[in-house]
Structure formats: structure tokens, C-alpha cells
Amino acid sequence: MNYNLLKGKKGIIFGALNDMSIAWKVAKLAKAEGAEFILTNTPVSIRLGTIDQLAKACNAEVIPADATDTKDIANLVTQAKEKFGKLDFVLHSIGMSPNVRKKLPYDKVNYDFYHKTLDISALSFHKVIAELKKQDAMNEWGSIVALSYVAAQRTLYGYNDMADAKALLESVARSFGYIYGREKKVRVNTISQSPTLTTAGSGVKGIDGLMDFTDRMSPLGNANAEECAQYCITLFSDLTKKVTMQNLYHDGGFSNMGMSYKAMSQYNKSFDKNITD
């Protein structure tokens, strides 16, 4: 069911690679809710992924931009303004760690890769918001959302330097949310999403076991990509105008769980003192 929540709203959606991407689901739902938007990704992701299919289905233009490159971002925001005038929403759905890709553990990371992780997954959020503000590209009460993960607060085996990137990403949302809210009434939030089977998600060591664990531990079960898109739409809508500077958990309750009855029973059955990781 659609509610016309984004009727007449204009935006930019970063990060749709293929039909598993969270950004893909957000684009489909934003379209169904009445929005118009530009889709963007890196030139290589546009070439290797299937964003053109999404663009066709959503009647959206694709403008390539590497979100770590301030010139690319400036060009993207300028073109979006020319096309739409001011914007109402922006989704930052970007994450990548070369250390995770190369399977280098956290205590043996490559520092050039570490810089890249932080630049792609967190500083890019700062760069995008800074450019939107510089070009005065957002309408009052506009909404900027990035996607995060609970590893920003808690240690989860295998998440590696992406945990540090997510902590920084959430901090950028608070710091910029204060400035942009105070000066232009623009909202900035992060959604902390359940583990989700996407291209980025599959790169995390032990993702299947992790997804099973969080699903069983959460009273409502894991949130999937479609449900994440629904939450994003509420944050882009006028129904959440006073929500800003927040990290909002969208995880079926996982982040507030300590121990469940099921997990305790399983733990008692399978305790193995040789496991130290």
C-alpha cells in the first residue's frame, strides 16, 4: 500500500548497485510514494552493476559520482539543483572496506586501506552534506539519511575497520545535524540496520552465522532491505520533522538485547572452552 508520503519531493539516492542493494529498495519505494530523484554511484559500479534498469523503472537520471571526490559531489549537487531546484531528501547508502575485501584482520590492517575505508564509508557523508549546505541545495525540513550498523557501538566479530567508519559516520550525523538544523532546519540522521544480504553485506566475515544469530536474538527478527526502505521513507516524509541528530536502530530490537532464553539454552548445550576469539 502506498501513502503518497513523498508526493512532490525531490532527492538524490547514493548507492544502488544491484537489486539487492538497500538503496535500490529505497528508490523503488520513493518512486511509489511520489518522489522524483537522481540516482548516483561510482562509474565502475554503474558499469558493473544494474543501476540503469532501476533508472528506467523509476524514470530517474543517473549521474556518476565518486562520493570521496569533492569535485564529483559538487557537480552532482549542481546538476540536481538545475534539474529540481532545491532538494527534500538525500540517501547516503555507501560502504566499502578494502581491509574487509582483502581479509586483513583488524589487528593487521593496511593503513592505506584503512584511510580508504573511512573516506568512502564516513568522510563521504561529511563531504556530501558540506556540499549540499555550500550550494544551499536543501529545502527547509529536508532530510539527509545515512545507513549505519550496531558495530559502531558494540564489537561484532569480523566487522573490522567498518566499525570505526560507522562510529565516525554517526558522529558526522550529530555534528552536522546540529549545524544544518540550527542554520537551515535540515535534518540529519543515521539508521542502524540489521545485517542484510547485499553485496556489501556478503563481504562481512561469517555474515550467514551473524544474520542467523541476530535474527534469533531479536524479538521481532532481523529487518530486511524492504523494511529498511520503508523506514527511510518515513524519515524523508513530513511526519518526522523534528527527528534529527539521531542514530535510529532498525533491527527488530537486537541492539537492546543481552541474552534471550533461546540463546541461553543453546549456549548451555554447546559451551566449548577452546574458542577464544
Ligand X SMILES: NC(=O)c1ccc[n+]([C@@H]2O[C@H](COP(=O)([O-])OP(=O)(O)OC[C@H]3O[C@@H](n4cnc5c(N)ncnc54)[C@H](O)[C@@H]3O)[C@@H](O)[C@H]2O)c1
- Which spans of this chain sit near ligand X (rule: CB under 6 A)? 14-15, 17, 20-23, 41-42, 45, 66-68, 93-96, 120, 147-149, 193, 195-196, 198-201
Min CB(160)–ligand X separation in Å? 12
Beta bridge partners of 87: 138
CB closer to ligand X, 222 vs 237: 222
Report in angstroms how near the CB of residue 260 gets to ligand X at its nearest: 21
How near is the Cβ of 136 to ligand X at its closest, in Å? 23
Rg (CA), the chain: 19
Query: Shortest approach of ligand X to residue 148 CB, angstroms?
Result: 6
Instruction: Please state whether 195 falls in left (phi above 0), alpha (psi between -120 and 50) or beta.
Output: beta
Q: Of 45 and 160, which CB lies nearer to ligand X in the complex structure? A: 45
Least gap, CB of 145 to ligand X (angstroms): 11
Task: Provide the sign of the torsion angle of the four alpha carbons 240, 246, 247, 253, taken in this order.
Answer: negative
Closest to ligand X by CB, 21 or 189: 21
In whole angstroms, the minimum distance from the beta carbon of 72 to ligand X comes to: 8
Q: How far is the CB of 56 from ligand X (least distance, A)?
A: 17
3-class SS letters over the chain: CCCCCCCCCEEEEECCCCCCCHHHHHHHHHHHCCCEEEEECCHHHHHHCCHHHHHHHHCCEECCCCCCCHHHHHHHHHHHHHHHCCEEEEEECCCCCHHHHCCCCHHHCCHHHHHHHHHHHHHHHHHHHHHHHHCCCEEEEEEEEEEECHHHCCCCCCCCCHHHHHHHHHHHHHHHHHHHHHHHCCEEEEEEECCCCCHHHHCCCCHHHHHHHHHHHCCCCCCCHHHHHHHHHHHHCHHHCCCCCCEEEECCCHHHCCCCHHHHHHHHHHCCCCCCC
User: Which amino acid, one-letter code, is at 261?
Assistant: Y
Q: Of the two residues 184 and 221, which places its CB atom closer to ligand X in the complex? A: 221
Q: Whose Cβ is closer to ligand X: residue 148's or residue 247's?
A: 148
Rank residues 42 and 247 by Cβ distance to ligand X and give the closer one.
42
CA dist., res. 144 & res. 266, Å (int): 41
**Which is nearer to ligand X, 185 or 215 (by Cβ)?**
215
Nearer to ligand X, 19 or 185 (CB): 19
Min. distance of Cβ 256 from ligand X in angstroms? 17
